[in-house]
């Protein structure tokens, strides 16, 4: 059976899959990223994990994977060099992942940004299916938006498009690792909310923590929809699992803030934590289709 390798590398864990031509997850696996061992060890772990999937696919289906797709966090030079330029959480600097993986596996490899890769899956086969313009915003350890346009994901001129987490929404807010204060992800990421909630648990301020996070998120989203005019806003990540507890007040807060802008649909992501792997699989299949057409 023709298949590809899909690998989704996160700050704490890696998810991998063998993906069929119809998008079916034929085999799935997980393992920790072990970032505490340093960037070189993380890269070695990625290569070993991919090689393990390659061997499983060859043994199970009698033929090696046709290609591999890999989604990684941080700044990614996807198209030209296939380089993971920078990732604060993983510590690497200009890691030539595509070349390393191609050499290890002996197959073509596509490299993508983790959120944009998840966006690709959400757009084609998830919550954005059938929508021509959408913005995918997962609320995880950080916040990064991905811009979907007609079935593709806009990376920007330098690969930085969608960094909504570093839009300043509170000028007197907490310091951010990027050097600014009051960035959206310091106030409304899953990490920021869980940290603030833990400090206020059992206290009347706990409700205020949630309300403040929703207000900050609404402010950031209104900035984004003013610039991008998406038809749909897709919210994913850990906080989206709160469902109506998040989406009811968030929809109301965004509606209160818009004036001339068209209010988009605000919906939860549909694919959960499989989006990254599914998107990485799509990257691999797209790469094969490009090679055939060329």
Rounded Cα distance between 225 and 114, Å, is 22
Comparing 78 with 256, which gets the higher pLDDT? 256
**Cα separation values, 139 from 3, 194, 203, Å:** 31, 12, 24
In the chain, CATH 3.30.420.40 covers 3-116+273-293, 130-269
pLDDT digits (tens, 9 = 90+) for 50-72: 999 999 999 999 999 999 999 98
With 70 as the cut, is the pLDDT of residue 282 above it?
A: yes
Half-sphere exposure of 6 (CA within 13 A, CB side): 31
Rounded Cα distance between 173 and 171, Å, is 6
Mean pLDDT (whole number) for 161-175: 94
Confidence (pTM): 0.81
The single-letter DSSP state of residue 181 is B
Which of 130-134, 210-214, 239-243, 255-259 is least confident?
Answer: 239-243
**Cα separation values, 130 from 12, 127, 149, 197, 246, Å:** 33, 9, 11, 37, 24
Domain spanning 3-116+273-293: CATH 3.30.420.40: yes
With 90 as the cut, is the pLDDT of residue 254 above it?
A: yes
Work out whether the CA dihedral 253, 255, 259, 265 comes out positive or negative: positive
With 70 as the cut, is the pLDDT of residue 223 above it?
A: yes
CATH architecture of 130-269: 2-Layer Sandwich (3.30)
pLDDT digits (tens, 9 = 90+) for 236-246: 988 888 899 99
Position 208 scores a pLDDT of 87
Strands 133-139 and 232-237: parallel
Instruction: Name the band, by pLDDT with cuts 50, 70 and 90, for residue 200.
Output: low
Position 88 scores a pLDDT of 66
Element (H, E) at 281: helix 275-293
Which positions ≥6 away from 80 have C-beta within 8 Å?
none
């Amino acid at each position: 059976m023709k298949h590809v390798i899909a690998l989704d590398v996160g700050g704490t864990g890696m998810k991998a899959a063998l993906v069929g031509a119809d998008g079916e997850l034929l085999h799935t696996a997980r393992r920790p990223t072990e970032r505490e061992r340093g960037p070189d060890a993380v890269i070695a772990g990625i290569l070993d994990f991919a090689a393990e999937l390659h061997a499983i696919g060859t043994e199970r289906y009698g033929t090696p994977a046709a290609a591999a797709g890999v989604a990684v966090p941080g700044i990614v030079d996807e198209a030209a060099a296939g380089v993971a330029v920078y990732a604060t959480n993983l510590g690497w600097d200009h890691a030539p992942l595509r070349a390393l993986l191609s050499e290890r596996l002996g197959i073509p490899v596509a490299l993508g940004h983790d959120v944009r890769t998840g966006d690709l899956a959400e757009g084609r086969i998830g919550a954005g299916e059938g929508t021509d313009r959408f913005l995918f915003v997962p609320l995880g350890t950080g916040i990064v938006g991905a811009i979907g346009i007609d079935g593709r994901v806009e990376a920007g001129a330098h690969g930085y498009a969608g960094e909504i987490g570093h839009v300043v929404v509170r000028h007197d807010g907490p310091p951010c690792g990027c050097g600014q204060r009051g960035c959206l992800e310091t106030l409304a990421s899953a990490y920021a909310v869980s940290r603030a909630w833990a400090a206020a648990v059992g206290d009347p301020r706990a409700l205020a923590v949630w309300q403040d996070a929703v207000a900050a998120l609404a402010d950031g989203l209104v900035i984004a929809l003013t610039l991008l005019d998406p038809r749909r806003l897709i919210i994913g990540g850990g906080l989206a699992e709160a469902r109506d507890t998040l989406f009811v007040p968030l929809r109301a807060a965004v509606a209160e803030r818009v004036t001339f802008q068209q209010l988009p649909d605000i919906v939860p992501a549909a694919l959960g934590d499989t989006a990254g792997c599914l998107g990485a699989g799509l990257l691999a299949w797209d790469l094969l289709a490009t090679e055939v057409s060329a």
